[in-house]
A and B are shown apart, each in its own frame.
Chain A
């Protein structure tokens, strides 16, 4: 049976004259996410995007699963394609709806007839299709107010479509329409969520990861790659830049006061990230900081860290509770990976009592005394680049 996905656009329909560039980005992102599943025609008509498989044997479950993660989509439906005649609708509806109606007790039929030349009016379509389904599935009863399943028959310009209701999309605006930013990612719970949230606002991502072998392992880096591949399902392909950080961390450990380890380390990360971000044409940094979560995320500490970067720093989780962050990480399927117990660069050399109210002036002195800045160029030059695509 021929199937199609009908996609309803979100706030991009309100974008005035820029609307077309938003629509183009969305079409491109849909094609990109379906890569490897076959050939698809992606077209727009009547403010709906039609995704029509052109090859046989397309895994439509997978297609819908992937589309559910594309930003810029409010809702979508997986529908069966019929000819614009009641005979064709009658022939296909029972088979197509069998799975959807299998565990339901009640249903209703809604018809949307945008092609007014179709001989039957919407209420007549509903009545006839409803009667047919009742006859074919005797376990069902009609409930027009609160049905388990809403069967929808849409008669549009190019054909008629039957489906069992629309599925909620990922919301947001299409990735790529909001510029480019670099996410600092360690391997914890927060940074993948921060990445997801900025991608939702249309930002395409580059990822910066700091590795300190042998204090951190190959598995820690692999963990970050797996996290990013999960994020790629929403954000599209991501370039991951791994920065060698061992020398800097050792120098901090040897030369600086223990209470300042964390704050200095974070400032060094910001400095290096700003340089790399510019090289890769990113206009902002993204971090997973949440106010007051740990010592390095107090207002004074954040002020100190912010000073190390000369670009805007987005902190989408700043006002969120850990529980709320965990909820999103479960939704985007990164939680189970995040809690794997591999040491990352943020957890090596953690001081017993990190300073919660560092004073910027003294932190800068400490960095100068330790001659940390001379190590920055070397780190930036020796980065490793990995191109990542979505994993499922």
Chain B
């Protein structure tokens, strides 16, 4: 059976060059970058090479890039590190009700600790309204953390507008954005977004799992979460995962945003067109969403049921976000969907490898499911 992998926002296939780099850095150039000898030196050059590739893609300086174990760690480090560094300046934090769980649950914990955490809900368009965020900013606000692109619906939030308006009101507020679903898919430049902190991840762009990075704007100080060792300027200690970092660097250098966007855009348009011909399907992704993600609900059929049915036909999609392992999506609830619609939501996410055939296979399997699966 042919494999139709349409779950690329969960993770992607590692590119060959990226995997080769990881292999090389495990088998040939395997020394610790902190070792003083020439092998360590060669390893440290690989590390800095990868850093400059990531920096270049973000339009940032190499000194602003800190490697982490992935998006979740980058998000945790950004939020907790910023809050700890600024706790004397105030106690209000602004975020949204549809963040990725690595920000959302961190925020719930901060709220328990006594921080005044404001959760902004997406408006009827499915995106965050900049004005609502800016209105919530006061002199005690220390941090705003709002995702660039939502991982379940693909909604794109107006980060620049939010950052600019917030800083106008309170120049000392820090702005963090989780750009895991945006990086490598659209132009993400922290300086253009007016973001002070920005998280990215490797495995969403054909690098291996286990590597990501946090951008920290020059002059912005956040505190570390781990101690012992001098790696990453003491902000993220522990021996660098060089095979993964090197592979990340290669994957970044292989990005061709313009070309890939054209590919997935045409796939998304094609799929929406096909789906609208089917009965019982509601599109959940907002108008302003990334071409890489399409979220829709199939009336009356539970996500998981349909997901397994599709998988049996070789079509792989996800129900809500893969990170919540099938739990009820706080994202779709935040959007105000009634339970039926949220419970039957499916997320299709593309990569440059997908084709029209993948879309056709999905549509065909969906039709079959709608006809034959039991309704509640």
Contact = CB atoms under 8 A, between A and B. Distances in A.
Interface of A: 61, 99, 102-105, 139, 217-219, 222, 333, 336, 342, 392
Given A61-B59, A222-B41, A103 B36 contact: no
Nearest to A99: B192
B58 to A, nearest CB: 13
Nearest to B61: A392
Given A102-B164, A222-B41, 19 more contacts: A61-B59, A61-B191, A99-B192, A102-B160, A102-B168, A102-B194, A103-B167, A103-B168, A103-B171, A105-B168, A139-B165, A217-B36, A218-B38, A218-B41, A219-B36, A219-B41, A333-B63, A336-B63, A342-B36
Contacts of A217: 36-37
Contacts of A104: 168
Contacts of A61: 59, 191
Size range of the interface on B?
A: 10 to 19
Interface in B225-276: 233
Contacts of B37: 217
Contact of B194 (A103, A105, A218, A333): A103
Nearest to B42: A218
Nearest to B45: A222
Contacts of A218: 38, 41
A111 B164 CA distance: 27
Contacts of B233: 336
A219 B45 CA distance: 11
A226 B165 CA distance: 40
Interface string B317-361: 000000000000000000000000000000000000000000000
A104 B40 CA distance: 47
B134 to A, nearest CB: 10
A218 B233 CA distance: 22
A61 B36 CA distance: 36
A61 B190 CA distance: 14
Interface string B31-55: 0000011101100000000000000
Contacts of B41: 218-219, 222
A103 B59 contact: no
Contacts of A342: 36
B254 to A, nearest CB: 21
A139 B168 contact: yes
Contacts of A392: 61
Interface in B180-207: 191-192, 194
A104 B233 CA distance: 33
B35 to A, nearest CB: 10
A103 B164 contact: yes
B172 to A, nearest CB: 12
A61 B61 CA distance: 12
Contacts of A103: 164, 167-168, 171, 194
Interface centre among B36, B37, B59, B160 (most CB of A within 10 A): B36
A156 to B, nearest CB: 29
Contacts of A99: 192
A336 B233 CA distance: 9
Contacts of A139: 165, 168
A372 B248 CA distance: 52
B219 to A, nearest CB: 11
Nearest to B233: A336
A237 to B, nearest CB: 21
A105 B168 CA distance: 7
A217 B36 CA distance: 8
A187 to B, nearest CB: 14
Nearest to B41: A219
B340 to A, nearest CB: 42
A103 B167 CA distance: 6
A342 B167 CA distance: 42
Nearest to B160: A102
A168 to B, nearest CB: 17
Contacts of A222: 41
A218 B41 CA distance: 8
Contacts of B165: 139
A104 B165 CA distance: 10
A103 B61 CA distance: 22
B44 to A, nearest CB: 8
A207 B59 CA distance: 32
Contacts of B168: 102-105, 139
A99 B160 CA distance: 10
A102 B164 CA distance: 6
A391 to B, nearest CB: 10
8 contacts: A61-B191, A99-B192, A102-B160, A103-B171, A105-B168, A336-B63, A342-B36, A392-B61
A219 B33 CA distance: 11
Nearest 9 pairs between A and B by C-beta? A102-B164, A103-B167, A219-B41, A103-B168, A218-B38, A103-B164, A217-B36, A218-B41, A105-B168
A292 B40 CA distance: 37
Contacts of B40: 219
A103 B59 CA distance: 20
Contacts of A336: 63, 233
A105 B170 CA distance: 11
Contacts of A333: 63
A102 B165 CA distance: 8
Nearest to B191: A61
A224 B20 CA distance: 32
Nearest to A219: B41
B232 to A, nearest CB: 12
A104 B168 CA distance: 6
A78 to B, nearest CB: 14
B366 to A, nearest CB: 43
Nearest to A102: B164
Nearest to B161: A102
A345 to B, nearest CB: 16
A61 B58 CA distance: 13
A200 B59 CA distance: 29
A342 B59 CA distance: 31
Interface in B138-183: 160, 164-165, 167-168, 171
Interface string B62-89: 0100000000000000000000000000
Nearest to B166: A103
B174 to A, nearest CB: 14
A240 to B, nearest CB: 18
Interface centre among A103, A217, A218, A336 (most CB of B within 10 A): A103
A139 B164 CA distance: 11
Nearest to B165: A139
